[in-house]
């Protein structure tokens, strides 16, 4: 009986010594370049890209930037609101366009890549701060050690058509793990690398809502990939939420419109092509739909023209 009590006590003590973790996220904070919006997301999925984040902290060498962008891609896809282009595909396009990854911090370069890939927006960002601190307590019978990871991530959302930064957010995340021992029994170990991902995810998760809200301020759009006779072939299909019967307004994109003071692109001269209706899907990829003009303005459509969801 005494042995049973001893074993029970040992199990309880070792359970108390097991490591525990907690994660804390702080809501992303808007800065001067963006207006906070809380619009409800509507319409088909948005096509966006995420560039590998830059690691500006003195920690983690090259792995934090890639980890941050991968986590954001995962969260964007999980939301069900976005079609996200894989980073490998974007790198391939950059190679074909003879552009270096370092140039992806320039909004105009980002916009050019986005236009080639038929995206609405691209997210660029950086891990600006990352730090891990150790805390502990040492009593007569018990010892406790805690590792705390704090991270700050900054992002910019770049509109592909104008090349302008339409949102800039900063998010903070914290993750911690506690390891305890009793009379020398318990968990021991070095640095817990899972803290990095948990802190990053806590900082990044709020961006998903903010990105969706910001993009929802402008009409959803897609590009005409090809035009043959009366049929239009769009670069968005059932995977994007495009269904038969949807009404679209189509335009030919012309010369850039630049602000005379800043020389920034603020739009394009547009020529109205007419109203089209989605007639069905095309191909097996789930990323292509067919449409046909119901009200044509007389100018032929071609690859690169855009269609917006009719109001």
pLDDT of amino acid 79: 92
Same domain assignment for residues 145 and 178: yes
Task: Give this prediction's pTM.
Answer: 0.74
- Inside any domain, residue 265: yes
- The domain that holds 284 is classified in CATH as 2.40.10.410
- Cβ pair 215, 46 in contact under 8 A: yes
Q: What is the pLDDT confidence band of residue 31, given thresholds at 50, 70 and 90? A: very low
- Cβ pair 62, 126 in contact under 8 A: no
- Inside any domain, residue 11: no
Residues near 4 by Cβ (< 8 Å), separated by ≥ 6? Answer: none
H-helix or E-strand spanning residue 147: strand 142-159
Mean pLDDT (the chain, rounded): 78
- Cβ pair 225, 234 in contact under 8 A: yes
Q: What is the pLDDT confidence band of residue 169, given thresholds at 50, 70 and 90? A: very high
Query: What average pLDDT does the segment 246-273 reach?
Result: 88
Q: Report how far residue 11's alpha carbon sits from residue 40's, in angstroms, rounded to the nearest whole number.
A: 50
68, 100, 58, 306: which is closest to 203 by C-alpha? 68
Confidence check: pLDDT of 48 > 60: yes
21-35, 235-249, 253-267, 282-296: lowest mean pLDDT where? 21-35
pLDDT of amino acid 271: 94
Number of domains making up the chain: 2
Same domain assignment for residues 160 and 291: no
Same domain assignment for residues 46 and 167: yes
Q: Which two tokens stand for residue 278?
A: 């989605």
Q: What is the pLDDT confidence band of residue 34, given thresholds at 50, 70 and 90? A: very low
Q: Domain range for residue 262?
A: 221-309
- The domain that holds 77 is classified in CATH as 3.40.50.10610
20 vs 262 pLDDT, higher one: 262
- Inside any domain, residue 3: no
Helix boundaries (H) for 18-86 = 63-78
Residue after which a domain boundary falls, among 163, 191, 215? 215
Q: Which two tokens stand for residue 47?
A: 């096509």
Same domain assignment for residues 204 and 74: yes
Q: What three-state secondary structure class fits 156?
A: strand
- Inside any domain, residue 151: yes
Query: What average pLDDT does the segment 254-263 reach?
Result: 86
Residue after which a domain boundary falls, among 193, 215, 237? 215
pLDDT of amino acid 270: 93
Long-range contacts for 22-25 (Cβ within 8 Å, ≥24 apart)?
A: 22/175, 22/176, 23/173, 23/174, 23/175, 23/176, 23/198, 23/199, 23/201, 23/202, 24/173, 24/174, 24/175, 24/202, 25/171, 25/172, 25/173, 25/174, 25/202, 25/203, 25/205, 25/206
Confidence check: pLDDT of 310 > 50: yes
Residues near 98 by Cβ (< 8 Å), separated by ≥ 6? Answer: none
Confidence check: pLDDT of 154 > 50: yes
pLDDT of amino acid 161: 80
Query: What average pLDDT does the segment 145-174 reach?
Result: 89
- pLDDT digit string (tens) for 281-304? 987 778 899 999 999 888 899 998
- pLDDT digit string (tens) for 64-77? 888 999 999 999 99
Residues near 104 by Cβ (< 8 Å), separated by ≥ 6? Answer: 51, 94, 110, 113, 124
Confidence check: pLDDT of 107 > 50: yes
Q: Which two tokens stand for residue 31?
A: 């800065």
Alpha-carbon Rg for the chain in angstroms: 25
Residue after which a domain boundary falls, among 215, 233, 260? 215
Same domain assignment for residues 207 and 274: no
Confidence check: pLDDT of 42 > 60: no
Same domain assignment for residues 192 and 268: no
- Inside any domain, residue 156: yes
27-31, 57-61, 183-187, 278-282: lowest mean pLDDT where? 27-31
Helix boundaries (H) for 149-269 = 194-215
Q: What is the pLDDT confidence band of residue 29, given thresholds at 50, 70 and 90? A: very low
Burial class (CB in 10 A: 0-12, 13-18, 19+), 141: exposed
Residues near 106 by Cβ (< 8 Å), separated by ≥ 6? Answer: none
Q: Report how far residue 59's alpha carbon sits from residue 44's, in angstroms, rounded to the nearest whole number.
A: 39
Confidence check: pLDDT of 265 > 50: yes
66 vs 106 pLDDT, higher one: 66
Q: What is the pLDDT confidence band of residue 307, given thresholds at 50, 70 and 90? A: very high
Same domain assignment for residues 97 and 154: yes
Confidence check: pLDDT of 92 > 90: no
């Amino acid at each position: 009986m005494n042995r049973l009590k001893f074993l029970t006590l040992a199990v309880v003590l070792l359970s108390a010594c097991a490591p525990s973790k907690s994660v804390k996220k702080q809501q992303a904070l808007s800065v001067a370049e963006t207006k906070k919006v809380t619009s409800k997301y509507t319409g088909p999925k948005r096509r966006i890209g995420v560039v590998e984040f830059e690691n500006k902290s003195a920690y983690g060498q090259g792995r934090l930037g890639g980890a941050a962008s991968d986590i954001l891609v995962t969260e964007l896809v999980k939301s069900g609101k976005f079609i996200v282009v894989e980073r490998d595909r974007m790198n391939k396009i950059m190679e074909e366009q003879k552009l270096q990854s370092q140039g992806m911090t320039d909004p105009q370069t980002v916009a050019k890549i986005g236009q080639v890939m038929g995206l609405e927006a691209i997210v660029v960002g950086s891990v600006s701060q990352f730090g891990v601190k150790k805390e502990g307590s040492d009593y007569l019978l018990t010892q406790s050690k805690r590792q705390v990871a704090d991270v700050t991530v900054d992002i910019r959302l770049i509109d592909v058509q104008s090349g302008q930064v339409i949102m800039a957010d900063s998010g903070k995340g914290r993750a911690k793990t506690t390891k305890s021992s009793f009379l020398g029994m318990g968990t021991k170990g070095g640095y817990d690398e899972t803290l990095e991902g948990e802190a990053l995810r806590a900082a990044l998760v709020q961006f998903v809502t903010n990105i969706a809200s910001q993009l929802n301020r402008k009409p959803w759009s897609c590009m005409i990939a090809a035009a043959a006779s009366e049929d239009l072939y769009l670069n968005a299909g059932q995977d994007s939420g495009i269904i038969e019967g949807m009404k679209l307004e189509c335009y030919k994109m012309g010369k850039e419109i630049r602000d005379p003071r800043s020389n920034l692109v603020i739009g394009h001269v547009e020529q109205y092509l007419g109203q089209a209706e989605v007639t069905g899907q095309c191909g097996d990829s789930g990323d292509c739909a067919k449409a046909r003009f119901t009200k044509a303005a007389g100018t032929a459509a071609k690859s690169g023209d855009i269609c917006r969801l009719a109001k």
